[in-house]
Amino acid sequence: MEKVVASIMCGDPLYLAEELAALEAAGIDWLHCDVMDGVFVTNLAMGPYVLEPIIKTKGMTTDIHLACQNPESYIEMFAGLQPDYLTFHYEATDNITKLLGQIHSHGIKAGVAISPGTPVDVLYPYLENIELVLMMTVEPGFAGQLFNWTVLDKLKQLNQQLETVTKKPLIEVDGNINSETIKKISPLANLYVVGTSALFNDEEGSYYEKVRKVERSFVSKRR
């Protein structure tokens, strides 16, 4: 399964309702919601009051990405919204098992994100208890960065490791994801987070047309 995921942080904040309607009409059924604290990353984004009405519509699967220090506090802050997934950064904690249990106790699926410089094998002990692995292909914090091609090797290593486990998490990639970078990644991932480089930009065409362009880069569509 390969799917386009919209990074709603990159949408127009003055017209979020219209953005959501347009994305749904384009066939998007999964939203990536970045929460940034200004500490773990030097940016701020998407507090609970912004995300609450988006999640309450239940029109799309929602994945909240906590790019935050002290993720245990943010898990409690956002768990009440009942997103489908809550994802925290491996680099932000020294107690992965505790945070996975914290998320699962709220009936929410758990994800763990790693930045480009973090070896993928740090996740291997936890794969059976993770529903989502978020592989950052740029440093978390700001849109529009260059794709880090070294992540391709990590994706290959992760896929090989997943052959050894019974319960396989979804693999999500985020950071300068577009039709060109996807051609190199597919089919190593399941979920492709698109933002300013492929969807929320000034290029001509509707969201529907842009999503179809991205989807044509999937291996399954190129065969």
Handedness of CA 161, 103, 135, 207 (dihedral sign): positive
Task: Give the whole-angstrom CA distance, residue 55 versus residue 140.
Answer: 23
Q: Which of 12, 29, 34, 63 is catalytic?
A: 34
Q: Closest by alpha carbon to 151, among 167, 133, 166, 168?
A: 133
State how far the Cα of 86 lies from the Cα of 102, in Å rounded to an integer: 10
Q: Strand pairing of 44-45 and 30-37?
A: antiparallel
Q: Which two tokens stand for residue 181?
A: 């970078």
CA dihedral of 172, 16, 25, 135, whole degrees rounded to 10: -10
Catalytic residue, chosen from 121, 153, 174, 202, is: 174
Q: Is 34 a catalytic residue?
A: yes
Cβ-contact 64, 33 below 8 angstroms? yes
Catalytic residues: 34, 174
